[in-house]
Amino acid sequence: MTNGAPSFSLWLTVAILGITSISIGASAAEYACGTSACIIQQLNSAQPGDRISILPGTYVGVKTATNYNRAGWFSTSRSGTAAAPITLQAADPTNPPVLCGNSNSDAYVFHMVGANYWKVLNIVFRTGAKGVILDQSNNNVLQGIEVYDVGDEGVHFRDASSYNVIADSRVHDTGVGSPGFGEGIYIGSAEGTVYPGTVQQINQACHFNRVTRCELGPNVRAEAVDIKERTRGTLVENCILRTQGLSGVNSADSSINVKGNDVLVRDNQIFGENSPPELLYVFKLYPVFAAGLASGQNATFANNNAVLGARTDVYVLYVQNGLVGKVTNNVRDLPGKMYSGVTQDITPLAKPPAGVIALYDTTADAGVREGDTRNYGLDPLLTIKNSAGSARLALVQFPLSQLTGVNIASATLRLQLKATAATTLNVFSAGTDWEQNKVTWATKPTVGTAAVGSAPLTATSSFVTVNVDVTAYVKQAATGAQLPATLSMAIQESKGKYTDIYSAENAAKMGPRLVIVTA
């Protein structure tokens, strides 16, 4: 959906506050928003079945009171239905819009209050006291979102919010103001939490929420996922958890903290080899003692892979105070502590046949510059520019030998970049005969002439996430059932405009990554 002519035979266009409106049924409509005012208006008036598409750009919200003296930069209390959900989405998923506040110490970036049956797709939320908060909101899907630069937690399913899903999303750089409250994803509320300005206990019944195929971290200052008491049936699966930046404040000493009942944590990859000393446990099963409360019951940890390197002191699972953790097929890369407390081995859980996500950092990345004999393999930025005589090119290489025999559904090159002007980013095949700390323009590998993936870029003042589909190239690289040990790509832009990409050496620890989803 764009501001251009729609592909409907009957249509009506109304230009109000940057809105393009198209009737798609008796009550549902589709809107394209290019201003904050348009977004706010549609959030406040949405009807079941409406689709709100946000054009590329950065949109600063308006701080608005929501409930119990809370406020959101963007907020809604509207609801769809099971048959006709409301959709809030990027008009261009390859160039997601950014919704933000103007301070990471004030208000929530997006506050959903009593809002049911929404789909929130491919949107970046940043710069607020908290990120995306659901209160009394059920049956919602958050997919392809990114949340960062928030004072406290990134995403919170809170106050009787159940049957919600967050999928294919990234949460990082949380707790920038209050590290002890900087959870990546928070399910429920702690015992004793009251509504602001009252003595009434918040409703802790947040049941059957799902966290799937998400990347959490780095710089999530508290737990990547915190599952509170009086919640039931939380599922955390197929996620990438990065522990770099864990603060240890307010008992933040694990990647996933479980206090709820009937929790299943399965098929996750945890990267803690570069974790701070504050990381003591990968998973922690922890009870809360209160009258009539049984917490941490029937929790299962299955098929999880902990990459901890030399951190042999870190427990994969720590079970406290007489609880029993059910375990099967959890592994760590090197010998070290596995379980502390009482655990019960159970029949292995079958791995899901499809949809498993694997994420790879580069084994090498470097920029090369035409006419320059120097090596830039340790630079924090990969700068690209397509200009005869002064071109700059980025090279990246990924390990693929672990995917032997795997059926690939999709492959995506994920970059964090900042473009000085509108251009097109192109990805090309490249030879593997180069070394990060030696390659120069003269010694660069052979680069293909036809792009294997592309994405439009707009000028931005800050680094944003860009995803490039390279599925066909990765599939073609496979020889029978065996992938090569490594795969190289070259990255360039099309219009002679400087574009900076975070390298693996950047302090942000958000270098190029290859995301593989299995079929």
Residues counted in the chain: 519
The answer for residues whose C-beta is within 8 angstroms of residue 173's C-beta and 6 or more apart is 148, 149, 150, 218, 219, 220, 245
Lowest-pLDDT choice from 85-94, 176-185, 288-297: 288-297
Handedness of CA 332, 411, 437, 482 (dihedral sign): positive
Mean pLDDT, rounded, for 471-482: 72
Q: What is the mean pLDDT of the chain?
A: 89
What is the predicted pLDDT for the residue at 356?
59
Q: What ranges make up the beta strands (E) of 61-181? A: 64-65, 71-76, 86-90, 98-100, 108-113, 118-121, 124-128, 130-135, 141-143, 146-150, 155-158, 165-167, 170-171
Q: Using H for helix, E for strand and C for coil, what is the string for 216-240? A: ECCCECCCCEEECCCCECCEEECCE
- Among residues 173, 511, 241, the alpha carbon closest in space to that of 361 is found at 511
3-state secondary structure (DSSP) of residue 179:
helix
Residues 318 and 343: beta-carbon distance below 8 Å: no
Judge if pTM exceeds 0.85: no
- Identify any residues that bridge with 283 across adjacent strands, giving them in sequence order: 256, 317
Confidence of residue 350 (pLDDT cuts 50, 70, 90): low
* In the predicted structure, residue 400 carries a pLDDT above the cut 90: no
Question: CA 361, CA 356: separation in Å to the nearest integer?
Answer: 17
Phi, psi for residue 131 in degrees, rounded to 5: -90, -105
3-state secondary structure (DSSP) of residue 474:
helix
Handedness of CA 261, 265, 271, 272 (dihedral sign): positive
The answer for residues whose C-beta is within 8 angstroms of residue 137's C-beta and 6 or more apart is 112, 113, 114, 115, 116, 118, 161, 164
What is the predicted pLDDT for the residue at 10?
25
Confidence of residue 24 (pLDDT cuts 50, 70, 90): very low
Instruction: Report which of residues 466 and 404 the model is more confident about.
Output: 466
Phi, psi for residue 506 in degrees, rounded to 5: -70, 145
Confidence of residue 433 (pLDDT cuts 50, 70, 90): confident
Confidence of residue 23 (pLDDT cuts 50, 70, 90): very low
Note the pLDDT tens digit of each residue in 194-233. 998 899 889 999 999 999 999 999 999 999 999 999 999 9
Specify the DSSP element, H or E, that contains 258: strand 254-258
* In the predicted structure, residue 7 carries a pLDDT above the cut 70: no
The answer for residues whose C-beta is within 8 angstroms of residue 289's C-beta and 6 or more apart is none
List Cα–Cα distances, 94 to 171, 467, 512, in angstroms: 18, 6, 16
Mean pLDDT, rounded, for 275-299: 90
Place of tokens 């219009």: 495
- Among residues 128, 125, 134, the alpha carbon closest in space to that of 106 is found at 128
Handedness of CA 322, 160, 131, 63 (dihedral sign): negative
3-state secondary structure (DSSP) of residue 471:
helix
* In the predicted structure, residue 493 carries a pLDDT above the cut 50: yes
Instruction: Report which of residues 514 and 146 the model is more confident about.
Output: 146
What is the predicted pLDDT for the residue at 167?
94
User: Which residue type, as a one-letter code, is found at position 257?
Assistant: N
Residues 509 and 351: beta-carbon distance below 8 Å: no
The answer for residues whose C-beta is within 8 angstroms of residue 430's C-beta and 6 or more apart is 395, 445, 446, 447, 448, 488, 489, 490
Q: Using a pLDDT cut of 90, give the percent of the chain over it.
A: 75
* In the predicted structure, residue 125 carries a pLDDT above the cut 70: yes
Question: CA 193, CA 336: separation in Å to the nearest integer?
Answer: 37
What is the predicted pLDDT for the residue at 407?
77
The answer for residues whose C-beta is within 8 angstroms of residue 405's C-beta and 6 or more apart is 481, 482
